[in-house]
Structure 1
Amino acid sequence: MKSKELSVDLRDRTVSRLRSGEGYRKISAALKVPMSTVASIIWKGKKFGTTRTLPRVGRPARLSDRGRRALVREVTRNPMVTLTGLQCLVSGGHHPANTIPTVKHGGGSIMLWGCSSAGGTGRLVRMEGKMNAGMFRLSTKY
């Protein structure tokens, strides 16, 4: 979980206390922030040369480090893997070894109407077209 960003004033005071010779523990106690925060501020100051918040570039990565390693491992193992296969791997979808391919033909369908009661079952009737209110009323007469 990400925490809120620290104020520029607090970051500047941290760096100035370090420059005056105070240690991380003293700075942490004086400013009432964890030692890890003090260390992080100092590290970022040394790395980037400023305590200001730098602009972030680009869109944040949607792929975690773990997901990235899994992709590299899969491509190394099987260089002919398809994009769909990689997407399934990353999204945690169905693994190809556990799925059965099917061939679908046409888009036909039929509508059947039937009933059952304590006295038994009624007839099964094939309905033509789409069910609307009029057809529903007719079908209940059977």
Structure 2
Amino acid sequence: MGKTEDLSKDTRDKIVDLHKAGMGYRTIGKQLGEKTTTVGAIIRKWKKFKMTVNLPWTGALCKISPRGVLMILRKVRDQPRTTREDLVNDLKRAGTTVSMVTISDTLHRHGLKSCSARKVPLLKPAHVQARLKFAKDHLDVPEEAWEKIMWSDETKIELFGINSTPAVKHGGGNVMLWGCFSAKGAG
């Protein structure tokens, strides 16, 4: 559960005054409409520090300087495919060592979120050259000829197997999917 709103200074002072008058935690809580645990916490703070105001919050200081944060934000906005690892390395070269979690927290604090790029099969140089050759060879083909062509592909999706945790006896199975498209639409 998140932090609730702080009690006013007057309420805190009333709790301490009632405690000095000899009232118990429950009685004070009922009289002021506060929880017994809240009353106890305020009284313990008063006994320890002789004050009822909130002390400044403690916690680790941000490891990334304001200038480093600006550098991160600029790089992510200019190059959206930048990875957290790239940002960690950039900061390390600038003299600041941080974890990827710190990078994520910083991006989140500034309204940016990370996502993983969809995995696609990598094209080998030979594939790139073959595609480029095909495109160059067919530059002069008239538009009407492309209307007669259907493009297709197939893929195998494993239900239970190497790519997932087996949950069924006697092997898994897979599904073959086939799809196509042409100038007339998808199929």
**TM-score bucket (shorter structure):** 0.3 to 0.5
Higher strand proportion, which one? 2
Q: How does the TM-score come out when normalised to structure 1? A: 0.45
Q: How does the TM-score come out when normalised to structure 2? A: 0.35
